[in-house]
């Protein structure tokens, strides 16, 4: 141990062990709810590091990730990390050879500060694949050829595929060549990572992903349909079924269709965010997808949506209640989980025999955009209702417009 910098051995604290276990629960389910952290003292000052572990709801997974955090802190302290001066440790690492795996860990921690957990998960997954392909490679030695060969290998792979989910790697029995969409997503993530490396002076020169040849790595593997706008007959079936068997999800679906809000945003809306007098909805900053906004979005409540909200008798509930909750009354004190609407919607599709068509909750938003065009909305109006910052984003929602456009009886003037 360093003579100047003295620290105690880091240990994992799992919070206070539950004494009373509610009926239907168990010790692990209750214990995972407590606040866990790694505790140690450095030069007489105590540090409690929580990392990202308290977001995890599964006891075994939380224990695994907590041990990873504990070992990481032990390694850092052993290598000279000073919690009161972390910049010095980073500067020390910059001057040394650093592997891809080590640098990805630092990058993901930095990413968590200003990025949604779901986005961080996507970055973590794609970068993990890159680590598996180059486990010992130094970041400074990456070239455009390395990235290009890697992407081409994922496109043409015939080996059993590996999936990286929730911090674990799973090997499948069949290959899963990357589609064009997957390649595009991976390129974007890799480019962002190496750009960060350049800004932090971990990498010298131009971004290696920028030099990747597009034509050579084009994937011919067809992507599965996703967020497909509904066929007219299918949306009628879906809404009839939901109205009869799952009214909360029927309301949720109509809310997406009328407002063009994202499912994750709707899950977190509270009654205090809805002004029925002025017919406005305020989308709080902690709800919106765009983390760069400095002011909340305020959107108009369309007349059909207004009628749907009025049916709920919102005046009966406290303003702090969630608009969509776990309660069968739709409104309630506990928010509906972000995955709950999707799972219940997919269940309905299964009953109706509509799986495999690419329908998701976002299909209501895509279908809404197409209906608006057919009813005379212009591009600027559609861009505004979607709260898009660029026309390019809006056009993505209209790419299936031709499927809903009949030109069989159109004539071309003679020349």
pLDDT at 215 over 60: no
Domain with CATH 1.10.150.130 in the chain: 97-223
CA separation for the pair 380, 292 (Å, rounded): 22
Cα→Cα distances 325→51, 55, 249, 316, 360, Å: 29, 20, 10, 15, 20
* Residue 366 CA from chain centroid, whole number: 19
H-state helical runs in 59-143 = 59-78, 86-94, 100-112, 117-133
Q: State pLDDT tens for residues 362-375.
A: 999 999 998 998 89
> For 244-302, how does the pLDDT look when each residue is reduced to its tens digit (9 = 90+)?
999 999 999 999 999 999 998 999 999 999 999 999 999 987 777 665 666 888 999 99
3-state SS, 339-361, equals CHHHHHHHHHHHHHCCCCCCCCC
pTM (2 d.p.): 0.59
**Whole-number pLDDT of residue 292:** 63
- pLDDT for res 306: 95
159 DSSP assignment: S
Q: 299 pairs with which residues across the strands?
A: 281
What whole-number distance in Å separates Cα of residue 215 and Cα of residue 223?
18
Task: For domain 232-404, give its CATH number from 1.10.3720.10, 1.10.443.10, 3.30.70.20, 3.40.50.1100.
Answer: 1.10.443.10
Task: For the domain made up of 97-223, give the CATH fold.
Answer: DNA polymerase; domain 1 (1.10.150)
d(CA 10, CA 348): 49
């Amino acid at each position: 141990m360093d003579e100047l910098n003295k620290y105690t051995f880091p240990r994992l604290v799992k919070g206070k062990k539950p004494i009373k276990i509610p009926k239907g629960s168990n010790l692990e389910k209750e214990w995972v709810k407590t606040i866990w952290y790694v505790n140690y003292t450095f030069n007489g000052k105590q540090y409690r590091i929580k990392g990202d572990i308290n977001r995890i709801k599964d006891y075994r997974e939380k224990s695994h990730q907590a041990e990873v955090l504990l070992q990481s802190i032990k390694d850092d302290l052993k290598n000279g990390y000073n919690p009161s001066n972390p910049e010095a440790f980073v500067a020390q690492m910059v001057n040394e050879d650093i592997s891809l795996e080590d640098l990805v860990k630092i990058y993901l921690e930095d990413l968590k500060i200003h990025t949604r957990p779901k986005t961080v998960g996507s970055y973590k997954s794609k970068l993990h694949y890159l680590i598996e392909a180059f486990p010992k490679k130094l970041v400074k030695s990456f070239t455009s050829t390395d990235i290009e060969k890697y992407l081409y290998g994922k496109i043409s792979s015939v080996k059993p595929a590996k999936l990286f989910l929730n911090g674990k790697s799973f090997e499948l029995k069949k290959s899963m060549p990357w589609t064009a969409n997957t390649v595009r997503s991976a390129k974007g993530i890799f480019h962002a990572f190496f750009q960060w490396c350049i800004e932090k002076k971990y990498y010298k020169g131009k971004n290696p992903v920028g030099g990747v040849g597009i034509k050579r790595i084009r994937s011919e593997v067809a992507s599965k349909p996703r967020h497909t706008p509904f066929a007219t007959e299918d949306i009628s079936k879906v809404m009839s079924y939901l109205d009869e068997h799952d009214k909360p999800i029927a309301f949720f679906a109509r809310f997406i269709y009328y407002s063009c809000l994202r499912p994750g945003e709707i899950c977190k809306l509270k009654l205090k965010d809805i002004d029925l007098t002025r017919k406005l909805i305020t989308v709080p900053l902690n709800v919106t997808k765009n983390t760069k906004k400095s002011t909340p979005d305020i959107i108009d409540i369309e007349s059909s949506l207004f009628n749907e909200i009025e049916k709920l008798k919102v005046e009966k509930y406290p303003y702090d209640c969630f608009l969509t909750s776990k309660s069968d009354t739709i409104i309630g004190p506990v928010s509906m989980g972000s995955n709950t609407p999707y799972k219940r919607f997919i269940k309905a599709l299964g009953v109706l025999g509509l799986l495999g068509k690419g329908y998701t909750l976002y299909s209501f938003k895509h279908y809404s955009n197409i209906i608006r065009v057919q009813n005379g909305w212009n591009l600027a109006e559609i861009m505004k209702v979607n709260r898009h910052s660029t026309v390019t984003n809006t056009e993505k929602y209209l790419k299936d417009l031709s499927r809903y456009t009949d030109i069989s009886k159109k004539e071309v003037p003679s020349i």
